[in-house]
Structure 1
Amino acid sequence: MYSVMLVDDEQFARKGLRALIDWRACGLEVTEEADNGEDALLLIKDKKPDIVITDIRMPVLDGLELIRAVNEQSKGEAPAFIIISGYNDFKYAQQAVRYGVHDFILKPIDQEEMTRTLIGLHQKLSADKSLKERNEELLISSVIEMLIMGEASDEKIAEWEQRLPKASGYRYLFVELNDVHPWMHPADSLAAHDAYEFKPYTQTILRQLIPEFRHMLLHEHRGRLGMIVSDALLSRYDGDIASFMQTLRGRLTQKFGNRVFVYAGMQVERLSQVHESFRTAKEALSYKYVHDETKTIVYQDLCDRPLQFIEADRAIRQTLLEQLEENKTDEIRLTVERLFDEFRSNYFAPEAIKMNIHQIATAVAKMIKEMGGDERELISYEAIISWHDLNVSLSELKRLLTNFVVDSSQLLKQLRKECAKGGIHRIKQYIEAHFHKNISLKSIAAEFYMNPVYLGQLFKKHYGMYFNDYLLRLRVNEAKKLLRQTDLRIYEIAEKVGFSNAEYFVTQFEKTEQMTPSEYRSKLLQ
């Protein structure tokens, strides 16, 4: 709703206009009235309405003089004006245009014309407001970027110190939403939209917690929001940054659950030193997995104990891999719990946690490959190799690793069953990779330490055709592809698909396709 002031020396004219228009339907609300230009000028300065609808002929100060005076005093923040007049005088209209009046409407007022004008003005104000907010947002973003990089000029710093409430200290804060990713638990599927709502909702909460929020600078970093806050803005929290952070996080948690982290850098005295607070806020952020339970981290509260960039206890990792091979799901969960307890209690840096989880994922993937499987078939594998590009809490990371190890254990169990059947699937893969070579049932059986007769029977049982028929089909299909896509001669194609004798190749091709290779190629050309 935009606010409207009516200015007319005739009371019945103001009441008539109030009754004539459905103001709410136009997105407007009449909040003020004045019966002369002088009183209107004072009210406009005090109440700052969005729109002023004024008559021209009024005592003390007429409508045009009112508009001129407001424009001179407003410094670019004047309301939008609509003039109503009973005089069809071109000079009035001409002067109104020079003053930037939105419209000039003659009495008696036509309801439809006035409604169209008001709706159009509402749309213009909304568009102007959006553009102004966007430009302001871009300006603020660029200023913050310069401040946190330590590249702001003295003039720019002085300008923004004037814009902000006078303060004796500044801090840089990060607000971070975690665990919004493609592999979320099904129960959290609705949270996928949270990433889009996080910034506007945070802005709303900040305005409620700090009415002077318009003086705060909010900046989008990769995956998190950053802001500059001063002790002046935190006066209602007695300047206690921890109290403010807990209050902010508590309000955000009501909507986003226990997935919000807040980090604060050291306090600095001048705006020109904000880059130091930014640097220490990033350092506080690196303690994220140590303080996963509190989720609010203030730089000066960090103990002197440094983060560890070390390998986790190898015995835990070895135990986990053995339990995976033995498919002991319950014990896997307990061992993952032990691993994460070590991460937290021994102050593992995020990079160290990434390294240790990567080592586990690599070892598991190697086991799966050695069994003839493909770890990429597991959705949980994609999560465990991609999580580090996202904001993920320690508890969520523990869930992702547990899912990956349990899923891998089930896959290995399935692969072992296939191996128990003679590894027929791996044999089929071997044939598909080597069909162009001089292979036979006997040579493949020797490669896999099997009896050739048994291998032939097993192949027929699983794939419904004899080995030789399958091999011939692979070679003929490849030959057809080469006939279609190349100009190789027939004997060259025979060699490429595994036939040492070109005549035998032609015979087998004709037997399968009811035409010779030459005829097949000619048919394509026709």
Structure 2
Amino acid sequence: MYNVMLADDEVLDLRGLERFIPWEGLQMKVAAVVNSGVAALEYMKLNTIHILITDIRMPIMSGLELSREALQLYPHLKIIFISGYEDFQYAQQAMQLNAQSYVLKPIDDEEIIQALHKVKAQLDLESQQSLLENAYHKTLPVVKNDLLVQLYEGQLDWNANAAMLTEQYGIKLSQSEFSVAYIEIDDLAWKLDTYEGHEAKAIVNRVYSVIDQHCKQHGIHSLCKLSAHQFAMMIESNQQHIELLHDLITEIAATLPITITIGLGSVFSTFQQAQISYQQAQQALDFKMLVGKSIVIRYDDIEINHVKEVQHWEMALDALFVEMSNYRLVQIHDDFEHLFSLIRNMKSKVTVYNFSIQIISKLNAYLATLNEDLFQMPGMQLEDLHMIFKFETIDDIKTWLRRRVFEISELLHLKKQKKNNRLIESICTYVEEHLHENIVLRDVSNYFSFSPNHLGQIFKQATGINFSDYVVDRRMERARKLLQDHQGKVFEIAGQVGYKNQTYFNRQFKEHFGMTPGEYRKQS
């Protein structure tokens, strides 16, 4: 609905316009009816008006004067002038004010309706253009983020999109050298567990806002989100921008309940080299496991052998978590020995403590993929993390962590067994209800949303026999009971337990009970 104001010092003309024009059909409504330019202007200062229909000649403030003031308030205001005088001078001034129409008194309803249709078409077009412009401006940050991610990951289509980074977003490489900074929120897996979901999200958003604000202050336009807790940007390799990274770490640690660590790649001078610096920044950030967090870690300061050690530790952790979720106790023990043989190569107690905390953090992240919460499990409350710093030897830490992992593995195993038991009960019920039909593992697995192979393995582990053998056993047992009742012919009973071929039914029955169905019935 567009708001219309009627302004005329002649009351009868006002009432006629208000009453006889089909405003609703034009998707308009008369928001105000005033008899002076002063009153019209006062109203417009407090309320939005889209269309002004005004008499040119009014006392004190003319329609032309009103229009000039109104256009200052609403530059896109549409104006229709009404005049009782065929005066070219007025018409000429009206056109200079970009009037949409000039209607003479006495007013012809059809003429003013036609003028209103024209005004509505203009307003609709402007509204549509405004929506498109707003949508475009909203998508600009998203497109920019996607382009930067593609740049850092080496997937950017240079022919199609490289120019957009420089021309549209102002990201340019000057004579200076640049480095990619990879920023990660520390310990997100457990530090925000004590907060409500919306509070935790607000804290994470605040981190990004602080980083974004600092980037804008230093003219850095290359910040992008890699995930909810990881960000990247290109900074000039000068002291001012290096200090910016340290300032970010300090401010976030001082104002928020979490910290950030930054990996910094080697310098480059062309967009095509950004991917290498980005990968180096990632590797530097992985080194947090050894040197600690809430610092800037330069790739150029890392020894290559240490990088390989970190990769080995991560692989050992991944293997340990897989064995834990599958309840392979011997392998868990062996993986723990291998993991801590790597930890023993560390050179300081602080590094060992940091790594131990990283094990717990990564364990919590892994359990989250299984829809489990580490800190909701017995013996693993958040305050228990402080226990690690009370241990004086690596063996003490290893013993404590290994016990926790064994307990978690057993808990997962019991949950899986309980879940599988419910599943097996449901499968058995399904079989009993469908014995008269053609039952195959593929159909049953589809019904329970499993793959046939996986469901078959679960069933055999729980029952000790193959699914097809179980179905045959249940059919034979049902047939045996039906034969004992001495009601129904053998071929009818065969059909009731899912056999269309009586000969095949007779053969399977004899294999199970050592006699044919007829012999069994006679014996019964």
TM-score range, shorter chain: 0.3 to 0.5
